Amino acid sequence: MRIGELAEKTGVSVRALRYYEEQGLLTADRSGGGQRHYGDSAVERVHLIQALYAAGLSSRTILDLLPCVDAKVNTPESRALLRAERARIDEQIRQLRDARDRLDAVIASSESPTSGCAHVESDALVP
Amino acid sequence: MRIGELAEKTGVSVRALRYYEEQGLLTADRSGGGQRHYGDSAVERVHLIQALYAAGLSSRTILDLLPCVDAKVNTPESRALLRAERARIDEQIRQLRDARDRLDAVIASSESPTSGCAHVESDALVP
DNA sequence: CTAAAACCTGACGCTGACGTGAGGGACAAG
DNA sequence: CTTGTCCCTCACGTCAGCGTCAGGTTTTAG
């Protein structure tokens, strides 16, 4: 498939896909005219990249991780790298939970009738 | 206390504190000469701001949330805002878990002897 | 009173992950 | 052949959250 289709299938912009290639995260065959062509596996690849970006990893770090993912490299160093990034993600999750708990405290106090301006409505949409 | 002391107590740079004020997140009394003076509560305030930043909220969003936190505002809208941001954080946590699980899969396959280059060491530090 | 340390206000710099044209080919349809 | 749609490569623009330097003022220590 060409770049437009991949963009559509993954929900990522064409520009972003070219950027990934620029960063070495994604490769493509080229047609005679120079147009990029991707196999079906590229979809999954892009999803992985997106997941790692969403986890706050930099493209540089992702670049370091991908060879491990591709199972081309399997050294003690690469495994250490994987575990280190996993730990970073865990730390981020902890921070997020902290922020969430703080917000929960605020929510609780704003919904309990201790805030002076108490008026209880039953527009409760609590998911 | 003055800005330097607050910076030290919170672990945030002086520049960052001034930036928070610029964004309306933090207020300070001024001495005759124009220097900022903070009360003790500012420490907690900065920690809250930091936690929300760490959760990926923008200063604009934090600005919208803080009046709720200060319990000056307690309207259905403000509560909805709080819940919405809480939901966003939950979503981020989900994404992080997804990324972590993907890494875990890679780690598992790289540490199991299916990758050809298998050699089992007992440096297992699996937390 | 004086020197050092801390503080002030601009204002420009930086980084990463793209957005957004500009200007010009590629390629299937009719 | 031409029209339309997709694609290409530069290359500059953006935005947030500060870092950093410049030039000047305030506060504190001695």
B83 at interface of A, judged by CB pairs closer than 8 A? yes
A36 - beta bridge partners?
A: A30
Q: Tokens 């890679």 label which residue? A: B106
Closest-lying nucleotide for B12 based on CA to C1':
D18
Choosing among A52, A68, A86, which should be mutated to test the B contact, i.e. which has the most B CBs within 10 A?
A86
Report the pLDDT value the prediction gives residue B33, as an integer from 0 to 100.
94
| A48 C-beta neighbours (distance < 10 Å), count | 19
Q: pLDDT band at A15, cuts 50/70/90?
A: very high
- Tens of pLDDT along A28-72? 999 999 999 999 999 999 999 999 998 889 999 999 999 888 877
List residues with CB under 7 Å of strand C.
A 13, 15-16, 19, 23, 31-35, 53, 57-60; B 2-5, 7, 14, 18, 34-36
Q: Which residue has the higher pLDDT, A74 or B46?
A: B46
Which segment of B104-108, B109-113, B119-123 scores lowest on mean pLDDT?
A: B119-123
* pTM score of the predicted model: 0.81
Q: Does B97 touch chain A (CB under 8 A)?
A: yes
Q: How far is the CA of B22 from the C1' of C9 (A)?
A: 12
Is A81 within 8 Å of chain B by CB? no
DSSP A73-122: ---HHHHHHHHHHHHHHHHHHHHHHHHHHHHHHHHHHHHSTTSSS----S
For A10, the token pair is: 């993954």
Separation of B46 CA and D27 C1' (Å): 25
A114 pLDDT higher than 90: no
| Percent of chain B with pLDDT strictly greater than 90 | 57
Is it the case that residue B49 has pLDDT exceeding 90?
Answer: yes
Reply yes or no on whether the pLDDT at A121 is more than 80.
no
* Residues of chain B above pLDDT 70, percent: 88
- Closest nucleotide to A53, Cα to C1': C17
Residue B35 CA: distances (Å) to CA of B3, B10, B38, B41, B114: 8, 19, 10, 18, 65
pLDDT for position A87: 92
Q: Is A126 on the interface with B (CB under 8 A)?
A: yes
Q: Find and list the nucleotides of strand D having atoms within 7 Å of a protein beta carbon.
A: 6-9, 16-20, 25-27
Contact assignment for A96 to B109 by CB distance below 8 Å: no
